[in-house]
Amino acid sequence: MFRLLLVTFILSSHLSALAEHRSGVATDGTITNTSDLAKVLNTFSATNIPFNLTVSVISPVKNPTLTFAAEDSSGRMLFRRDRSCNQIDVRQGDLIRIKGSTKIDPRINLMFAAIGNIEVLSHSVPPSPIEIDWSDIRKGECNIRLVKAKGIVHDAFRDEIDRRRDYVQLKNGLESIFACVFTDGTEQDNLRNLIGAEVSVIGIYMPHRGMRRILGNTIYVTSWDDFKVTKPTHADLFDVPSLKDIPQSVLPNLNTAGRRRTAGKVIAVWHDDRILLRTADNSIVRVDLMDGNPPKYGDFVEVAGRPETDLYRLNLSRGIWRPFNDAGQKRSDETPEDVTVRNLTMTEAGEPAFQTKYHGRAIQIKGRVISVPQTEEYNRLVMECDRQMVHVDASSCPESLRNVEVDCTISAAGTCLMDTGNWHPNAPFPHIEGFSIIVRTPDDIKILSYPPWWTAGKLVAVIGALLGLLSGIFIWNRMLNRLAERRGRELADEKLAHVTSDLKVYERTRLAVELHDSLSQNLTGVSLAIRAANRLADSDSDGMRQSLNVAAKALDSCRDELRNCLWDLRNQTLEETDMNEAIRQTLAPHIGDNTKLSVRFNVSRERLSDNTAHCILRIIRELVANAVRHGGASAIKIAGSTEEDRLLFSVCDNGCGFDPDSRPNAADGHFGLQGIQDRVDGFEGELSIKSAPDAGAKVTVSIKVNIPKQAD
C-alpha cells in the first residue's frame, strides 16, 4: 500500500511538472515562456502578472538600453526594463534569466513586459540576421526577428513627436518599409543626403509600438552604426523630373511618382519650414521643407521633394532647396489688394464658401488687434475684421509687430494662405481650415490708430487697484486698531505701575514724616530728659527722678506711636468709602467694650484726599486714646462737617477732664497734644480745647482743605 502511494505521488509530480512546462504557467501563476506571455500582452487581459523566463537576446543592444528583443523555444517578443531594474549590461546572444511583470504604458495604451531583474547566465555568438525577401515581407515570417534589408531611400525625416527617432523609408520595387533609427540628434544634416541612396540596415522587424501605432511593421535599428550606405545617391538631388510633368494617370497615386522639382519666387515664409512659390507659369506651390532653414521672401529658389496635392494644386513635402537663376523673372513685389473677410469667405451671391482664388495673392485687410504674440517663438497675432478673427503670421518678419498693441487698428498686408490639408485616401476632398495672412516685409503692418487711453481693461484695472487699496486700508486700519489696543493696554499697565510706584513713594514718605514728626521728637525728648537726669544725679536726686520719669513717659509715647505706624501699614482703612466706618475701624483697637462710641462724620470720603483722611484719622485716634487712657472716659462722641473751604470735626468725652491752661506738655513727657497741634498747623488749621476737672473734655479742630463741590 505504501509503495502504491509513493508511485502515485511521484507520477502526479511528473505529470504536474509536465503540464506546467507545456502550459508555460507555474502553479503560483508565474508565466515561464514567451508564448504565453505574448498571449497575455496581445489580449490585454491583466496587468501585474509575474513572469520568470530564460531567454536569449536576439537584438543588437546599445548598452545600457531599456528595450530589447529575446526568444526561447516557444517564441520571440520584446522586453522593456523597468525603471527599478538592475543596470546590468546585456549583449546580443547572451542567455539571461529575467523576472518581472506585465504593465501598461498609459501614453500609448499598450501592455508590455517590464523586467525587474536581469541575470546573465552565459555569453554566446550573436545570431546572424535574416535577409528579408521583399516578396514575402507581408507574410509575418520575419516578425520579431533580427533581419537585414536592402533598398532605396525614398524618404528620410525626424519624428515630430519623439526627436530621438529618425525614420527612413526604404523601397524595393512596389514594396516599401520604414526603418526607425534611434539617434542622439546629431544626424539631422545627413538625412537629406540619404534620399535616393541604396542602403543596408540591420535591426528587429516588428509591429510598430510607438506613438504612431498604425504605422505598420518597422525595422528598429539600434544606432546609425547598423545603417550602411551601399550605393551613395547621385551627386545632384535636384536631377529629378519636373513637378508639372506628372502624367494625369499618376495623379490618383502620387506616391509612385517619385521625387519632383520645381522653381519659382518665394512669396511667403512661415513656421520656419513652410514656403509658398510662384512658378514661371504663375502656379502656386506650397513646400514643406525637410529642415528648418527656409529661404527669404523674394528669393528665387529651386525645390525638390515628394509631390502631394490638396486637389487644388500640386505641392511638395520633405523638400530641399537651393538658389535659382532668376534671369528673365520679375523681382517687383505684388501690390496688395484691399479685401474684406467677406471677399475671402463668401460668394458674390452671399453664400459661405472660401475663395481659393486668393491663395498666394497679395491682400490687405484692416481690423482691430485682439491678441499679440506672448513669446518670441510665436510671432502670430489675431485681428478682428467683420466680426471674424483673422490670423496674421509674422514668423519670417517679427520686427513688423514691434509697436503693435492690443486694440490697435492696423492694416495687415501679405500673402493670403488658404490652410488646406493635402489629400489622402480617406479624405476624397481635403477640408479648408481657414485662411491667414503671411507677412512679407516690415512695412506690411501699418498702425492706423492706437487704442484710446481709457479702455475697459484699464477701468477694470483701476477698479481692481482701488479695491485692493481699500482692502489694504481696511487691513491697515484693523492692524492699527489692534496696535492701538495693545499700546493702550501697555500704557494702562505702565500708568498703573506708575500710580502703584507713586503710592509706594507716598506711603514711604508719609511713614518717614510720621516717624520724623513723632518718634524723632519723642526720642529727642528722651535724650534731653536722660541728659538732665545725668546732670542732676549728684546734686538733685528729686530732679533726677523727675527727668527719668519724663524719659520713661516719652519712651512709652514712642512705643505707642510706633505701634500706630505699624498698624497703619497693615490696615486698609483708607480704602473705606464711608468715613464713619473708617473712624470706627481706626478706634477699634483703642477702646474697650465698656466705652460707648458715637460717630457722626458728615463728610464724604470721596471728597477727601488720602493725606487729609489719614491726618484726620490720626488726630481722632490720638484724642480718643488720651480720653480713654488719661481721662477714663466711658462715652465718646465724634462729629464732623464742612463749611466752605474748611473742615470741622470734634471729639467730646465724659472723662475726668483737665485744665487746658496747665495741660501736660513735652517737658512733662506728654507728646500727644503737641503732635496733634503739629498736624493741625500743617493744614493751616486751628485747635480748640474745652475742658475742666471732672467735666470731661471737648477738642475741636478746624483745618483748611480743598474740598470739591458735589454735583447737584
**pLDDT(99) > 90:** yes
CB neighbourhood size of 277 (10 A): 28
Q: What is the CATH number of domain 236-332?
A: 2.40.50.140
Residue 459 phi, psi (nearest 5): -60, -45
What is the model's pLDDT at position 514? 61
Amino acid making up residue 239:
D
Q: Are strands 145-158 and 130-131 parallel, antiparallel or unpaired?
A: parallel
Distances in Å between the alpha carbon of 180 and those of 33, 278, 292, 534? 28, 35, 21, 136
Residue 462 phi, psi (nearest 5): -65, -45
Q: Which fold has domain 146-231?
A: OB fold (Dihydrolipoamide Acetyltransferase, E2P) (2.40.50)
What is the model's pLDDT at position 17? 42
Q: Which residue has the higher pLDDT, 123 or 233?
A: 123
Predicted TM-score (pTM) of the model is: 0.54
Instruction: Look at the block and give the residue holding cell 513627436.
Output: 161
Q: Which of 44-53, 645-654, 668-677 has the lowest mean pLDDT?
A: 668-677
Q: Which residue has the higher pLDDT, 685 or 375?
A: 685
CB-based contact 356:367 (threshold 8 Å): no
274 vs 642: CA distance, rounded Å: 113
Mean pLDDT of 361-367: 95
What is the model's pLDDT at position 333? 75
Give the domain ranges of the chain: 23-122, 146-231, 236-332, 333-451, 452-570, 573-712
Sign of the alpha-carbon dihedral angle for 356, 361, 364, 369: positive
- CATH fourth-level superfamily of 333-451: Nucleic acid-binding proteins (2.40.50.140)
Same CATH fold, 236-332 and 146-231? yes
Indicate the pLDDT class of residue 712, thresholds 50, 70 and 90.
very low
Q: Which residue has the higher pLDDT, 428 or 626?
A: 626
Q: Which of 296-305, 331-340, 570-579 has the lowest mean pLDDT?
A: 570-579
Q: Which residue has the higher pLDDT, 529 or 688?
A: 688
Say if domain 23-122 classifies as CATH 2.40.50.200: yes
Q: Which residue has the higher pLDDT, 252 or 149?
A: 149
**pLDDT(45) > 80:** no
**pLDDT(5) > 50:** no
- What residues contact residue 145 under an 8 Å CB cut-off, 6+ apart? 58, 76, 130, 204, 205
* 569-578: pLDDT as tens digits: 556 666 777 8
What does the mean pLDDT of the chain come to? 81
Using DSSP's 3-state secondary structure scheme, residue 126 falls into coil
* 196-235: pLDDT as tens digits: 889 999 998 887 666 666 677 888 888 888 889 998 876 6
* 476-486: pLDDT as tens digits: 999 999 999 99
664 vs 661: CA distance, rounded Å: 9
Q: Looking at the domain covering 573-712, what would its CATH class be? A: alpha beta
CB neighbourhood size of 585 (10 A): 14
Q: Are strands 635-643 and 596-601 parallel, antiparallel or unpaired?
A: parallel
Is 222 exposed, middle or buried, given 0-12, 13-18 or 19+ CB atoms closer than 10 A? buried
CB-based contact 79:113 (threshold 8 Å): yes
